Amino acid sequence: MRTRFFSALVTAARANPDIVLVTGDLGYGVVEPFVEACPGQFVNAGVAEQNMTGLAAGIALAGGRVYTYSIANFPTLRCLEQIRNDVAYHGADVTVVAVGGGLAYGALGMSHHATEDLAIMRAIPGVAVAAPGDPVETDAVVADLLAHGGPAYLRLGKAGERSVHRAPVAVARGESVPVRPDGEVALLTTGAILEVACVAADRLAAEGVRASVRSFPWLDPFDVDAVRRSARHHEAIVTIEEHSIVGGLGSAVAEVLAEIPGAPPLARIALPARPASVVGDQDYLRSLYGLDPAAVAQRALKQLEESRAVAREVR
What does residue 44 show for φ and ψ, rounded to 5 degrees? Answer: -95, 110
The candidate with the shortest Cα–Cα distance to 300, out of 180, 217, 192, 213, is 213
- Catalytic residue among 36, 49, 137, 305, which? 49
Neighbours of 306 (CB within 10 A): 13
Q: Catalytic: 207? A: no
Q: How far apart are CA 105 and CA 189, in angstroms?
A: 20
Cβ(237)–Cβ(231) under 8 Å? yes
- The full DSSP string for the chain is -HHHHHHHHHHHHHH-TTEEEEESS--HHHHHHHHHH-GGGEEE--S-HHHHHHHHHHHHHTT-EEEEEEETTTTTTTTHHHIIIIIITTT--EEEEEESTBTTTGGG-GGG-BSSHHHHHHTSTT-EEE--SSHHHHHHHHHHHHHH--SEEEEE--S-PPP--SS-----TT--EEEE---SEEEEE-GGGHHHHHHHHHHHHHTT--EEEEE-SEEES--HHHHHHHHHH-SEEEEEEEEESSSSHHHHHHHHHTTSTTPPPEEEEEE-SS-------HHHHHHHTT-SHHHHHHHHHHHHHHHHHHHHHH-
Cβ(52)–Cβ(81) under 8 Å? no
Residues identified as active-site: 49
